[in-house]
Amino acid sequence: MIVHVPEIHFSQAQFQPESGSPDLKTPGGQGPPDVSDVRRFLLSRGNSAVADRGFHGLMVLCALSIFGIVALIATELVLRSDLVWKKFGFAFFYKADFDSYTHLPMYWDPVNGHFSALPFIYGTLVSSFLALLMAVPLAIGLAIFLTEMCPRALRSGLAFLTELLAAIPSVIYGLWAVTVLVPLMREYINPWLMKSLGWSGLFSDDNPTGLGFLSAGVILAIMILPIISSLTREVMTAVPYSQREAVLALGATRWEMIRMGVLRNARIGIVGAVILGLGRALGETMAVTMVIGNTPEIRHSLLANGSSMAAVIANEFSEASDDLHRSALIEIGLALFLVTIVVNALARFLVWAVTRGAPAQVH
């Protein structure tokens, strides 16, 4: 037996309230529900598409301004160094003229038109690598202590004191080096190094002033210590604690856990922290200028006077004798600018390769 069920059709207009119908009531019959202040503000402000597009454009402009500033600086340096490019080319960075009588190199003689950036590149590299040689072991050891061994009550205070070193102006470091470090090097450390290690040739220069590459390296090591230590601590904290627990569960000692479970996983980030410290050392000006000796020469002894790329710009730019001299200083500045950008970009990439995806932690 087949039963036919009639179809019932509903019109959508049947469910729409008429214009004169009263407002809907709440289940308690007490009128419409209360509207919050935030909801009332959002309903009353109208369409915000124009404001949103304006805000988005402003933020994009702020981001692009950084690239614009870097491009403007690079363009200005390239244009102002045009004289040196035309006269010396790339030989400006690796060649030098020789005196026909003494057969000694004339690296930097603005009066007679001899210009070469070689002694300043040499001094910058020597002082920076000396700083890394002294600062990296201390910074990594400090980061290990703060991350793995330091009592919780002392951790925040010691970390704050370490990072406070980065906030001290470089001229203060230079004044401290002139009044404390240089006399100490002149009276005690340099004579001992010449007596004990003079046979190596690295400490054979009898420099009575106490200035030189070694003094510059010591002050740079103190200045880059908080940078390397802070970033090393950050990448070590980003290593999951499951790595530590797994190594300890296998019967490893604390040192073995740190070496295999922490340092091995954080080594790329530590290298990035070291490179970032190198970038800071390459561009440091005032402190190095006050202790390096400011002599445009290349000496094998670490106790000899020298100069750096930043130091020669700070010393001579305001007193440049002619356009070629000024262009040579700007060319050195361009080289330092490009090297600093590349070094810092590489360091940031290495640190990001370790810390990406790691949650922020409170120390």
* pTM of the predicted model as reported, rounded to 2 decimal places: 0.80
Backbone angles phi, psi at 314, to 5 degrees: -65, -35
Asked if 287 and 220 touch (Cβ cutoff 8 Å), the reply is yes
What whole-number distance in Å separates Cα of residue 307 and Cα of residue 296? Answer: 6
Nearest-CA neighbor of 215 among 314, 309, 126?
126
Strand 105-106 with 114-115, pairing: unpaired
Q: Which two tokens stand for residue 223?
A: 């200045």
Neighbours of 324 (CB within 10 A): 16
pLDDT for res 35: 67
pLDDT for res 363: 41
| CATH numeric code, 65-355 | 1.10.3720.10
pLDDT for res 12: 47
The distance from CA 176 to its chain's CA centroid, rounded to whole angstroms, is 24
pLDDT for res 96: 84
**N-to-C CA span, the chain:** 80
pLDDT for res 319: 86
- CA-CA distances (angstroms) from residue 2 to 5, 9, 241? 10, 22, 72
Residues of the chain where predicted confidence (pLDDT) is lower than 50: 1, 3, 5, 10-26, 31, 359-363
What whole-number distance in Å separates Cα of residue 331 and Cα of residue 350? Answer: 29
In DSSP notation, 295-322 reads -----S-TTS-B--HHHHHHHHGGG--S
